[in-house]
Amino acid sequence: MPDASSTRPATGIRLPPGAVRAGITVFVVATLLGFGALFLITNDLRGSIAGFSHFDIRWALPALALASMDWFGSGVRIWLLTRPLDIRLPFGRCMQIGGVSAALAYLTPSGTGGGPALLYGLVRSGVSLGRTVATNFASVIVNLTFLSLAGFAAWFFGAAGAIEDIRLPVANISAATLFEWSALGFAGVGLLVILLAVAPRLPRLLLLRLFGRSVRVRKVLKVMQELHGSLIIYARKGKLALFLAVFANVFQFGSRFVLGWVVLRGFGVDAGFWNVVTLHIMLQFLLYFMPTPSGSGVGEMLAPALMSPFLEDRLLVAYTAVWRFFLNYLTIMAGGALLVRWIGVDAAGVSSDGSGPVSDAQPGALS
pTM for this entry: 0.79
Kindly state the average pLDDT of the residues 254-259.
Answer: 93
Percentage of the chain with pLDDT > 90? Answer: 26
Q: What is the DSSP letter of 357?
A: B
The residues, any chain, with a CB within 8 Å of residue 33's CB and separated by 6 or more, are 297
Q: Do 58 and 82 contact (CB within 8 A), yes or no?
A: no
Q: Residue 213 has what pLDDT? A: 78
Counting other chains too, the contacts that 239-245 makes at CB distance below 8 Å and 24 or more residues apart are: 241/80, 241/81, 241/83, 241/84, 242/81, 242/138, 242/141, 242/142, 244/80, 245/76, 245/77, 245/80, 245/81, 245/138, 245/139, 245/142
Q: Per mean pLDDT, which range of 121-130, 158-167, 234-243 is the poorest?
A: 158-167
**Given this model, what pLDDT does residue 351 score?**
37
284-293, 303-312, 325-334: least confident range:
284-293
First to last CA, the chain: 27
> Could you report the per-residue pLDDT of 4-33, keeping only the tens digit for each?
333 444 444 565 566 667 777 888 888 888
What would the mean pLDDT of 29-46 be, rounded to a whole number? Answer: 78
- In the predicted model, is pLDDT for residue 308 greater than 90? no
What does the pLDDT look like over 194-216, one tens digit per residue? 777 777 777 778 777 777 777 87
- Output the average pLDDT for the chain: 80
Higher pLDDT, 71 or 286: 71
Higher pLDDT: 57 or 216? It is 57
Which pLDDT score, from 0 to 100, does residue 327 have? 93
* Res. 355: pLDDT tops 80: no
CA dist 156 → 151, 160, 248, 362 (Å): 9, 9, 21, 45
Higher pLDDT, 79 or 312: 79
∠ CA 298-106-249, rounded to 5°: 110
Picking from 333, 346, 340, 342, the residue whose alpha carbon sits closest to that of residue 107 is 333
> In this structure, what DSSP letter does residue 365 have?
-
> Average of pLDDT values for 309-333?
91
d(CA 29, CA 113): 18
Q: How far apart (Å, rounded) are the C-alpha atoms in residues 230 and 363?
A: 25
Specify the pLDDT at position 361. Answer: 38
Distance separating alpha carbons of residues 265 and 243, to the nearest angstrom: 34
Structure-model confidence comparison of residues 297 and 95, the more confident one: 95
Query: CB 42: neighbour CB atoms within 10 A?
Result: 18
> pLDDT confidence of 71, banded at 50, 70, 90?
very high
When pLDDT is averaged across residues 305-311 and rounded to a whole number, the result is 85
Q: Which residues contact 338 (CB under 8 A, 6 or more apart)?
A: 96, 99, 100, 103
Residue 2's pLDDT band (boundaries 50, 70, 90)? very low
**pLDDT for the residue 185:** 78
Higher pLDDT, 346 or 99: 99
